[in-house]
Amino acid sequence: MTAKVILNPYSNRWNSKARWPEAEAALKAAGVDFSLDVSERKGHIVELAKQAALQGFSPVIAAGGDGTVGETVNGLMQAAGQTKEAIGPFGIMPTGSANDAVYSLSLPTDLGEAAKVIASGKTKLMDLGVLNGKYFVNNSGAGLEPYVTIKHEKITFVKGIARYLVAAVQGIMDKPEWYGEIKWDGGEYKGMLSLITIGNGRRTGGFFMTPHADMFDGKLTLAYGYRATRLGLFQALPRAFKEGAGSYVEMDGMFEVNATKISVKLDKPSPAHTDGELFPEWMQNFEYEILPQKLKILAG
């Protein structure tokens, strides 16, 4: 069966387009029979993925970064409609900057090895997250995290993971904060908030925002908290690079819990994102849930 590759040329500031010949050669060397569609505008990836699924292409492969992965899966979910069956198979050729979903899935970032994983045809059933009807593969968030994403999109003088770090410093200096109410399975919180991040995967933008998340456990991981000063936030920043002991979620005022459903209500609008893609409007109400074993991911 013919695969469909959906290429986001803009991913990683056009580096995805520059790497396409390498990705194309890797897929051909691995024996993957495919046709190519190239995204031309915002929202086009969703349309292309939906069309590919409805036309019977299999697998559908995202060539880009985390945003490309998320948008492709949203297209697959639109094509699937109300079915309760798992969607896919779905593969990733990682040509983005952070490639956080690939990291969380323990998939190779080398394009040659990634193509071999796709060619193997072996799948695993992984979970998908949902925020207000939009699906995400790796991560979503409100508060400081998407505020940093806004900063990140404006930075042109730094490349790669370093750009996320510069954006984080800029965001902390602005110190946005909210008063909010969070409810989840068997728990709730009311109070000030700097950060609300919801992970299906462990890492986003190179930071381990939900370091104990697991894409196969049937739950979302919620990390939230408040640091009253810029110094407190800067003290947390280096610990967000720690995946194991010493993570920022162990600090005073920071918390991490697992849940199947999460609701967030804020006193004022906040930016929001899924898989690094910002919502066009700022939001105050967030409804999250997990869809267990919903995506057939090509995992070798």
pLDDT at 44: 97
pLDDT at 229: 96
Do 91 and 146 belong to one domain? Answer: no
Residues ≥6 apart with Cβ < 8 Å to 64: 6, 7, 8, 11, 12, 16, 45, 93, 95, 96
- Of the pLDDT bands very low, low, confident and very high (cuts 50, 70, 90), residue 210 is very high
Nearest by Cα to 69 from 53, 39, 91: 91
> Rounded distance, CA 283 to CA 273, Å?
10
Domain of 26, in residue numbers: 3-121
Q: Which residues pair with 124 in a beta bridge?
A: 297
Whether 131 is in a domain gets the answer: no
**What's the whole-model pTM score?**
0.93
Do 170 and 260 belong to one domain? Answer: yes
Higher local confidence (pLDDT), 152 or 238:
238
Do 203 and 274 belong to one domain? Answer: yes
* 297 token code pair: 């991911």
- pLDDT for 65-118, tens place per residue? 999 999 999 999 999 998 889 999 999 999 988 899 999 999 999 999 999 999
**Contact between residue 138 and residue 265 where contact means Cβ atoms under 8 Å apart:** no
Do 11 and 108 belong to one domain? Answer: yes
Number of structural domains the chain divides into: 2
The CATH number assigned to the domain holding 31 equals 3.40.50.10330
Q: Can you tell me the mean pLDDT for 10-26?
A: 91
Per cent of the chain over pLDDT 90 is: 87
Boundary-marking domain end, from 75, 93, 121: 121
- pLDDT for 250-272, tens place per residue? 999 999 999 999 999 999 999 99
Whether 134 is in a domain gets the answer: no
Do 165 and 96 belong to one domain? Answer: no
Residue 126 scores a pLDDT above 90? yes
- pLDDT for 148-204, tens place per residue? 989 988 887 777 778 888 899 999 999 999 999 999 998 999 999 999 999 999 999
Mode of pairing for the β-strands spanning 87-94 and 283-298 = parallel
Do 92 and 149 belong to one domain? Answer: no
Coil, strand or helix at 10: coil
Whether 300 is in a domain gets the answer: no
Whether 35 is in a domain gets the answer: yes
Boundary-marking domain end, from 62, 89, 121: 121
Nearest by Cα to 100 from 58, 135, 133, 70: 70
Helices and strands counted in the chain (H then E): 8, 16
The CATH number assigned to the domain holding 155 equals 2.60.200.40
Do 205 and 99 belong to one domain? Answer: no
